[in-house]
């Protein structure tokens, strides 16, 4: 007698090719209108599912997991970061958690470089001027930004994405500096001509551009605190394509208003989709709607990883992307 297919509940709309493949392999319940599920709806999904497929904006916290049904055995997260899942509560319930690492590295690194350029060269501000019909023609002293070649880039978190950013930065003539929980191999340092800083405080005081590429964990919450942000030079730029919680957003906004730093490029926010109103009115803030990994290729690759993790788990094997601990 054929084994029953596992019930897989997907919380958001995924690329069509992924949804079709899931329906072929599993008993799949989709979210066709892509409306974010409420906590009550997430609890109901966890009560019914064998496998839950949430995204990085779904809070799978202790309140959800303590009310999950006995059938729930796998949370196959559609995303690299797992700060949306209470890993300790999942472990207590005996629920395996997987993610989708590696496939978004190049896309996020591309967006990081785009934000560095957009911030330093005032691209978003210039675009608004043109669309607003305010452009009066070329002037030798108008809309001046900063050259990035020859500047010092400080990368916070030299993991996959941080390393990919460093490789791109070298092509733009930036000097690479980095802070990481562990120093990378000396061969990689030589390749990137990268300078390691044991002290984040000291690095911040010496770089022109800061790129946040570490995950959000309890240890990295407000890693760029008000105190640390004050260490930056007035001509410095801050770019974040990781998680908004890593930066004290209120302190950052106040420094921008006061002219204590030159500008920011943010793809993520501390309380997204809400954005600090102080940021919205600033010309020296480039703001994007969490689209650093938003490529068709990347989303399909993520979905394929989710499917492989589910299929491997259902077949009785250890999923290739089982989450042990968050590291950077």
216 close to 246: Cβ distance less than 8 angstroms: yes
Confidence of residue 4 (pLDDT cuts 50, 70, 90): confident
Residue 57 · residue 82 · CB < 8 Å: no
What is the C-alpha separation between 101 and 108, in angstroms, rounded?
Answer: 12
Model pLDDT, residue 327: 35
Please give the Cα distance from 129 to 149 (Å, whole number). 26
DSSP structural state of residue 245: G
Domain covering 7-103+295-314 in this structure, CATH number: 3.40.50.720
pLDDT digits (tens, 9 = 90+) for 93-148: 999 999 999 999 999 999 999 999 999 999 999 999 999 999 999 999 999 999 99
| Cα distances (Å, whole numbers) of residue 127 to 175, 271, 287 | 28, 27, 13
Encoded tokens for 45:
């999904």
CATH 3.40.50.720 domain position(s) in the chain: 7-103+295-314, 105-287
pLDDT tens-digit readout, 50-105: 999 999 999 999 999 999 999 999 999 999 989 999 999 999 999 999 999 999 99
pLDDT over threshold 70, residue 3: no
Query: Which residues have CB under 8 Å from 292's CB, separation 6+?
Result: 104, 107, 108, 111, 112, 241, 267, 268
Over residues 263-289, the pLDDT tens digits come to: 999 999 999 999 999 999 999 999 999
Tokens 């329906």 label which residue? 23
Supply the pLDDT for residue 76: 98
Task: Place 295 in a pLDDT band, splitting at 50, 70 and 90.
Answer: very high
Lowest mean pLDDT among 79-88, 200-209, 242-251: 79-88
Q: Are 237 and 119 in contact (CB under 8 A)?
A: yes
Strand partners, 287: 266
Average pLDDT, the chain: 95
pLDDT over 80 (residue 324):
no
With contact defined as beta carbons under 8 Å apart, do 255 and 233 qualify? no
DSSP reduced 3-state for 176: strand
In angstroms, the CA 202 to CA 193 distance is: 19
pLDDT tens, position by position, 147-180? 999 999 999 999 999 999 999 999 999 999 999 9
Contacts of 132 (CB under 8 A, 6+ apart): none
Q: Return d(Cα 83, Cα 168) in angstroms, integer.
A: 27
Task: Kindly report, residue by residue over 16-43, the tens digit of the pLDDT.
Answer: 999 999 999 999 999 999 999 999 999 9
With tokens 């005081």, the residue in question is 205
3-state DSSP assignment of residue 224 = strand
pLDDT at 270: 97
**Looking at the domain that runs over 105-287, which CATH code has it been given?**
3.40.50.720
| Share above pLDDT 70 across residues of the chain, in percent, rounded to a whole number | 98
Q: What is the pLDDT of residue 325?
A: 40
Within 13 A of 41's CA, how many CA atoms are on the CB side? 12
At 297 the three-state DSSP class reads helix
* Residues annotated catalytic, as ranges: 243, 272, 290
Confidence of residue 294 (pLDDT cuts 50, 70, 90): very high
């Amino acid at each position: 007698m054929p084994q029953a297919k596992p019930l897989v509940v997907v919380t958001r709309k995924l690329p069509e090719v992924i949804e079709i493949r899931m329906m072929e392999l599993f008993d799949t319940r989709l979210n066709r209108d892509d409306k974010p599920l409420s906590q009550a709806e997430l609890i109901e999904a966890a009560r019914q599912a064998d496998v839950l497929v949430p995204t990085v904006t779904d809070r799978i916290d202790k309140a959800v997991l303590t009310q999950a049904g006995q059938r729930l055995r796998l949370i196959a997260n559609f995303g690299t970061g797992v700060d949306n899942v209470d890993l300790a509560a999942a472990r207590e319930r005996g629920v395996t958690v997987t993610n989708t690492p590696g496939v978004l590295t190049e896309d996020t690194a591309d967006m990081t470089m785009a934000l560095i350029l957009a911030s330093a060269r005032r691209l978003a501000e210039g675009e608004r001027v043109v669309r607003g019909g305010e452009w009066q023609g070329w002037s030798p002293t108008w809309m001046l930004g900063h050259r990035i070649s020859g500047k010092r880039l400080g990368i916070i978190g030299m993991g996959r994405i941080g390393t990919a950013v460093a490789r791109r930065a070298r092509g733009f003539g930036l000097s690479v500096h980095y802070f990481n929980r562990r120093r990378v191999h000396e061969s990689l340092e030589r390749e990137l001509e990268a300078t390691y800083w044991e002290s984040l405080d000291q690095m911040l005081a010496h770089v022109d551009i800061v790129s946040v590429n570490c995950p959000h964990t309890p240890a990295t919450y407000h890693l760029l605190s008000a105190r640390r942000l004050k260490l930056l030079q007035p001509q410095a730029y801050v770019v974040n394509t990781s998680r908004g919680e890593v930066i004290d957003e209120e302190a950052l906004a106040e420094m921008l208003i006061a002219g204590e730093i030159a500008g920011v490029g943010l793809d993520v926010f501390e309380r997204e989709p809400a954005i600090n109103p102080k940021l919205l009115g600033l010309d020296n803030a480039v703001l994007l709607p969490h689209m650093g990994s938003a490529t068709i290729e990347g989303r399909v690759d993520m979905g394929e990883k989710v499917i492989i993790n589910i299929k491997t788990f259902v077949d009785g094997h250890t999923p290739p992307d089982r989450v042990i601990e968050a590291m950077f």
